[in-house]
Amino acid sequence: MLFQMIMGAVNWINSEGDKEKLTKAQKQITNALIGFVILFGVWVLFITLTTQIFPIFEQTPTGLKFNLPSLFGN
C-alpha cells in the first residue's frame, strides 16, 4: 500500500500536466487508500473474531496470548 501511494505521488509529479497521466496517478492513490481501508477492516474483523467470538487469542496487557482450543476443556 505504501509503495503504491509513493508511486502514485511520483506519477502525479511526473504527469507534467497530461490529463491522462494525472487521472491514472489519482486512481492509483485512490486504490491504495481503498486497499488500506479494506486491510484495516479485515484486521479488525480478525481480532474481533479470534478474541471475542472464537477465543483463540486472549487479550493481555502485553498483547495477544494464543490459546489452543481443546475438545474436552483441559
Domain ranges of the chain: 2-66
> What number is the average pLDDT over the span 19-36?
96
H or E, element range at 59: strand 57-60
d(CA 59, CA 50): 10
Which of helix, strand or coil describes residue 29?
helix
30-64 tens-digit pLDDT:
999 999 999 999 999 998 888 888 888 888 899 88
Q: What is the pLDDT of residue 34?
A: 97
Q: Please, what's the b/e burial string for 18-44 (b: 16 or more CB within 10 A of its CB; e: otherwise)?
A: eeeeeeebeebbeebeeeeeeeeeeee
